[in-house]
Structure 1
Amino acid sequence: MHSLVVAAMVAATVMPATGVPATDREITFQSDGLTAYGTLHVPAHKRGDRLAAALLLPGSGPTDRNGNQLPAIEPNTLSLLADALGQDGIMTFRFDKYGSGPTHTLPPAGADYSVFLRQAEAAYTTLLKQPETNPSRMLIVGHSEGGMNAMLVGISVRPRPAGLALLAPQDQRILDMIDLQLAEQLDAALPADQAQAQKDLIAAWISNYRADKPVSTAGMLPTIAQLFQTLLAQGDFLRSDDAIYPPDVARRVPAGTRVLVTCGTADTNVPCDTTPPLLTALRGEKLVTLTGIDHFFHPAGSPVNGQPLAPALLTALHHWSRPWTSH
């Protein structure tokens, strides 16, 4: 008897008689003539309410709506973020980026980086048009490359988002990030003189590429040479991507936008010490430092897959979203 009473009380707290239960809706939208697929999560709410709505943007590569690159990489970053924001009454939309998801839809041949931004802009418009959406409470949450894209999309769409959450955001040009990450790996794997020789070859490749001079992978370790050959084959995509300097984008974020920026002290992809130019460009926005947390928001040394998001990140996200939460 007692347990039934408690269950009834919990049910009444979660879902009033006039309430709408939490639901996920599968939604398609068009960009560049191609169909994209996504999931809209609408948290439990009172009938007739209009909710804050966040577009979730993934990191680099063929990352799907849940934040995964199947079959190997399955941290579920975006689906976990959707759950966390839903707990605060914020609806979310996440979608399969080009090359991911069940369809593996590829962008148009010869497309440059802007094709990914147009897909994200179309997703934003799709979210804006949902019947539960409050147009004055549009938000964008981006992880890694998605943090950079959140700023780019945020300054191009209308209405502009009221808030941006930049979670371990890309804060350098893409080739500078690759240079930094390779340098860390080389320093850990090779004697100092051999590591430096490889780093010099990498620096020369990047410098020549940016100057439109011939590039060479001669002398590079085979795996590094293969990486740069693959990058070179990307043509206009790499050049247009590398032209984006995130602090320049950040200067265009409108004053008054509520911005969250995080970094993890165990993040080797986007280390905390590279963030100051981005923060300065955001007019001195404060950084939320996640002690001992890696790029996927897990404690250092944790497996990538099957882990919850770090409580410190969830706390930061909760504080950022407070002006728009329904409870």
Structure 2
Amino acid sequence: MNYCLNLLLICFSFTTNSQELSYSTQDIAINNLIDGTLLTPNDGDKPRLAVIIADSGPTDRDGNQNFLRNNSLKKLAEALTNKGIATFRYDKRIVKQIRKNNVDPNIKFDDFVTDAISVVDYFKKDNTYSSIYVIGHSQGSLIGMLAAKDRADGFISLAGSGQSIDKVITEQIGAMDPSLLEATKKAFESLKSGKTTTDYPPPLAPVFRADVQPFIMNWMQYNPQEVIKSLDIPVLIINGTNDLQVSVDEAQLLKVASKDSEINIIEKMNHVLFIIEGNQLVNSKSYNESSRKISEKLISIISSFILK
């Protein structure tokens, strides 16, 4: 496929209240790997743009994976654009590869960083926007930090980890099964030294299988605290108290590292940006409940940060 930059423009007319704006929609191919959706407010000249980067795995531009449809990032993008902020969200490269049944077995974490940089650079060259902000969700937080450095005008970490991925996984495994803790540490020590390993018990195979190890080796070299500390732009850190995957403690680690940053902890918000009133089962089920609304407080906090 060539590097097609043709835009497919589809205009939508919305019935809005007095606080909302109508917007237009464009599907854009950034390059042969990255396709996304740009929402642009119809009112105003040279709006601010928010680039939204998704979580780990084959997560698409709307925040969905196979059998898990919540449309969380689509809802975030639409809500921000109704506040007067242009938004661009895109499918991770692996989404396109899966759809074409042509997955790259050698994909690296750095490939996702390269893609995010390509997106930011595309819109900087376009010169349509007064400023560009990067919003990174979960794994996308670290990717977004790296892409925003020396390029963006602001950065927002949404449910981002404050520790390197090896430490995150070690803590999670230790909490689930303490008997696997030492084996986990030993396997990561091997990866840290640049060597793959087969010395781990069968229950750890999903984490340390051979095809995953190179990706993790690449990913674990980045310490989010060091990266966020290096950003010389406004930074906003957000987490929810009902996040089953990334605890509030992770947000606090990022805040300590980025002393001038703002931090907001949203009560009862979960990992996919919904307000959860029920128990853990209700929380887990919400990952596949696209009828839910995302947190209104989240929308207010992000839009205020970008527009101030």
TM range (shorter): 0.7 to 0.9
Larger Cα Rg: Structure 1 or Structure 2? 1
**Aligned equivalents of 2:28, 2:71: Cα separation in 1:** 19
**Aligned equivalents of 1:237, 1:198: Cα separation in 2:** 21
Distance 1:163 1:89, change over 3 A: same
**Aligned equivalents of 1:242, 1:138: Cα separation in 2:** 27
Paired residues in the alignment total 284
Q: The residue matched to 1:140 in structure 2 has which SS?
A: strand
Q: Is the 8 A contact 2:161 2:250 kept in 1?
A: no
Deviations 1:137-190 (A, max 9, x none): 11111111111111100115xxx2222111111221112222222333x2xxxx
In the alignment, residue 99 of structure 1 is paired with which amino acid? I
Q: The residue matched to 1:45 in structure 2 has which SS?
A: coil
**Aligned equivalents of 2:118, 2:272: Cα separation in 1:** 26
In the alignment, residue 190 of structure 2 is paired with which amino acid? N
After TM superposition, list the pairs within 5 Å mapping 1:281-296 onto structure 2: 281-296=257-272
Distance 1:290 1:12, change over 3 A: closer
Aligned to 1:209: 191
**Aligned equivalents of 1:35, 1:124: Cα separation in 2:** 15
**Aligned equivalents of 1:262, 1:198: Cα separation in 2:** 31
After TM superposition, list the pairs within 5 Å mapping 1:170-209 onto structure 2: 170-184=161-175, 186=176, 195-209=177-191
Q: The residue matched to 1:260 in structure 2 has which SS?
A: strand
TM-score, reference length from structure 1? 0.78
Q: Is the 8 A contact 1:53 1:138 kept in 2?
A: yes
Distance 1:200 1:251, change over 3 A: same
Aligned to 2:3: none
After TM superposition, list the pairs within 5 Å mapping 1:152-167 onto structure 2: 152-156=146-150, 160-167=151-158
Q: Is the 8 A contact 1:55 1:127 kept in 2?
A: no
What RMSD, in angstroms, separates the aligned Cα atoms of the two structures? 2.7
Instruction: Give yes or no for the alignment of 1:145 onto 2:139.
Output: yes
Aligned to 1:304: 287
In the alignment, residue 53 of structure 1 is paired with which amino acid? L
| Unpaired runs of at least 5, structure 1 | 1-9, 187-194
In the alignment, residue 58 of structure 1 is paired with which amino acid? A
Q: The residue matched to 2:303 in structure 1 has which SS?
A: helix
**Aligned equivalents of 2:38, 2:262: Cα separation in 1:** 30
Distance 1:205 1:103, change over 3 A: closer
**Aligned equivalents of 2:62, 2:28: Cα separation in 1:** 14
Aligned to 2:7: none
Which of 71, 90, 109 is the matching residue for 1:113? 109
Aligned to 2:219: 241
**Aligned equivalents of 1:164, 1:65: Cα separation in 2:** 18
After TM superposition, list the pairs within 5 Å mapping 1:1-327 onto structure 2: 22-30=23-31, 34-46=32-44, 49-70=45-66, 72-101=67-96, 104=99, 110-130=106-126, 133-134=128-129, 136-156=130-150, 160-184=151-175, 186=176, 195-212=177-194, 215-218=197-200, 220=201, 222=202, 224-230=203-209, 232-254=210-232, 257-300=233-276, 301-302=282-283, 303-305=286-288, 306=290, 307-323=292-308
**Aligned equivalents of 2:16, 2:220: Cα separation in 1:** 52
Deviations 1:197-218 (A, max 9, x none): 1222222222233234674455
Aligned to 2:279: none
**Aligned equivalents of 1:182, 1:298: Cα separation in 2:** 26
TM-score, reference length from structure 2? 0.82
Q: Is the 8 A contact 2:16 2:22 kept in 1?
A: no
Q: Is the 8 A contact 2:196 2:213 kept in 1?
A: no
CA shift for structure 1 position 243: 0.4
In the alignment, residue 143 of structure 1 is paired with which amino acid? H
CA shift for structure 1 position 12: 11
Aligned to 1:190: none
In the alignment, residue 82 of structure 2 is paired with which amino acid? Q
